[in-house]
Amino acid sequence: MLSDRLAHTLAARNVYYGWLVAAITFLTMLATAGVMGSAGVLMGPLEQEFGWTTEQISSAIAVRLVFYGIFAPFAAAFMNYWGVRKVTLFALVTILAGIAASYFMTELWHLVALWGVIIGMGTGMTALVLGATVATRWFGARRGLVVGLMTAANATGSLVFLPLLASLSETFGWRSALTVLICVLLVTLFLILLFMRDRPADVGLPRFGEDQIAPTPPRAANVGKLLLQPLQILRAAATEPVFWILFGTFFICGFSTNGLIQMHWISICGDFGIAAVTAASILALIGVFDLVGTIGSGWLSDRYDNRHLLFVFYSLRGLSLIYLPFSSFSIYELSVFAIFYGLDWVATVPPTVKLAAEKFGAERAPMVFGWVFMGHQIGAATAAYFAGAVRTGLDTYMPALVTAGVLCIIAALSVLAIGPGRRKWSVATTLT
């Protein structure tokens, strides 16, 4: 295969093939995150074309976020059974089908079915669990840095496309904006077909930083047993207090990022007379600084106590959100907010992944993190609907912003309850 020849060519030049796999995963998560973020751009045009309210559109977004989270732990099991490559290809085809069909939607239930269920399922299989799985399988060393890169792709992709999508939507209509996403997804699909492999052993390599090729673990005997694995993992993890701390704080993480700022930012700024393209540009600025902050978080998570990192990150995010309603929403103040908030957009992910791996083991960590990530998406869905309902009922988003800020302070204090050091998980049969 092309990947085998390329792996040996790169190895001869002292370049590890896993970095190419990580780069393709980065692009995949960037593209699918762009699909996730595009809903914020579509909100205004859909209101104008179909007469749907902010609350109605938010309900469809909330459904998508829930499906996005529900599929995360099962995506890890699917990758264990069918492989990362096949699952990712299936996910991209599902997303493409949902976007293509949405060109022709005319009813609210079409939006819920396509952008809520179908696209929610597809993006859920290429969410942070994909990045965590690739990082765990391919990297023994520099894993925190790789998780930071993947997390940055997931978060930044949902923001950096927005100025272009907003401009296209205003000039040519929202369907033209979706066409750009389809083109990016098709390029990504082609690269996965050519170069993605499931494990380093597939190209005769050990994990980065290790000397021995790790054997491929046995997969489940059948699909029924496959589907039980995430549930068995959940049942065992649920007995550990650390799981619920990670789940609860990640609920707040989703509430204060994807569900609130990502989905409603353009509408929040619109209430203060800021044009959609300008608001999207500020979101893109958040994305740029998120890239720096999240990669930096990954670097820090390899070197410092991840509990203390989470305390700092949640505290700073909470303070920035509490500050925002009291600002004048001038371009200068919003830019300062974008820089400060952007550095902490999802800097919480690498330390959370590292804590999951430390407490539950490398093989179980992706599925445990999948359930923790579901908490993130339930929080995001809650915020998406809550903020839309607040805006519809009170004609302002300000109470939602303050609520998110206070919750972040609570999360910061909660992580300090996690015990220090590594712990060997007592349940050894959950993957058999």
Helix axis angle, 143-160 to 162-172, nearest 10°: 20
Nearest to 29 by CA among 118, 132, 99: 132
Contact residues for 421 (Cβ-Cβ < 8 A; gap 6+): none
Contact present, 83 and 138 (Cβ < 8 Å): no
Task: Indicate the domain borders of the chain.
Answer: 7-199+222-417
CATH fold of 7-199+222-417 reads Growth Hormone; Chain: A; (1.20.1250)
Structure tokens at 407: 């919750």
Name the residue with tokens 């046995």.
Answer: 218
Phi-psi region of 40 (alpha: psi -120 to 50; beta: other; left: phi over 0): alpha
Is pLDDT of 137 > 90? Answer: no
DSSP class of residue 81 equals: H
Alpha-carbon span 268 to 387, nearest angstrom: 10
Cα 41 from Cα 174, distance rounded (Å): 8
Please state, in angstroms and rounded to a whole number, the distance separating the CA atoms of residues 68 and 123: 6
Structure confidence at residue 291 (pLDDT): 78
70 Cβ contact list (under 8 Å, min separation 6) = 124, 374, 377
- Say if residue 189's pLDDT is above 90: yes
Q: What is the pLDDT of residue 427?
A: 46
Question: Cα separation of 123 and 336, whole Å?
Answer: 31
pLDDT at residue 142, as a whole number = 79
**Average pLDDT of the residues of the chain:** 83
Please name the residue that has the structure tokens 């989703």: 254
Residue % of the chain over a pLDDT of 90 = 21
Note whether 147 and 131 are within 8 A (CB).
Answer: yes
pTM of the model as a whole? 0.71
Give tens-digit pLDDT for 286-303.
878 887 887 888 788 888
- What whole-number distance in Å separates Cα of residue 126 and Cα of residue 12? 31
Looking at residue 323, what is its pLDDT?
92
Q: Which tens digits make up the pLDDT trace of 174-187?
A: 888 889 889 989 99
What is residue 430's predicted lDDT score, i.e. its pLDDT? 45
| Confidence grade of residue 157 (pLDDT, cut at 50, 70, 90) | low
Average pLDDT of the residues in 272-282: 85
| DSSP per residue, 291-315 | HHHHHHHHHHHTTS-HHHHHHHHHH
Rg of the chain (C-alpha set): 21
Looking at residue 183, what is its pLDDT?
Answer: 92
| Amino acid, single-letter form, for residue 160 | V
Considering 66-70, 130-134, 320-324, the range whose residues carry the highest mean pLDDT is 320-324
The model's pLDDT over 18-60, given as tens digits with 9 standing for 90+, comes to 899 989 998 888 888 788 777 767 777 888 888 888 778 878 8
Strand partners, 353: none
Report the first-to-last Cα separation within the chain, whole angstroms: 32
Higher pLDDT, 157 or 282: 282
Q: What are phi and psi of 180, to 5 degrees?
A: -60, -45
Residue with tokens 């550095």: 343
E-assigned strand segments in 324-411: none
Which are the contacts of 241, defined by CB distance < 8 A and separation ≥ 6?
417
* pLDDT score, position 156: 66
